[in-house]
Amino acid sequence: MNSKSWATCLVCGTVAHFRLVQGVFIKGKFMCSQCEQIITEMEMDDICYPLIKERLKEIWVDNKQQNSS
């Protein structure tokens, strides 16, 4: 019973257990393999693309918070 075994997918919000759901960590954020696959196969003009891109921005934005004037 380790709470660290659980993570929330930053894209779909699914709470995933590492033993049940596979996924990847990107800069400390978790993304389930389902979303990873969706993104991998997604076309640039996919209707979900802007939405998922917006979510992924959270990963990159974290590193840019020095410039908050």
Q: Which positions lie near Zn ion, rule CB under 5 A?
A: 9, 11-12, 14, 32, 35
Min dist. Cβ of residue 13 to Zn ion (A): 7
Q: With H, G, I as helix, E, B as strand and everything else as coil, classify residue 62.
A: helix
Whichever of 38 and 69 has its CB closer to Zn ion, that residue is 38
Min dist. Cβ of residue 54 to Zn ion (A): 14
Whichever of 7 and 11 has its CB closer to Zn ion, that residue is 11
Are 45 and 38 in contact by the 8 Å Cβ rule? The answer is no
| Alpha-carbon span 58 to 45, nearest angstrom | 21
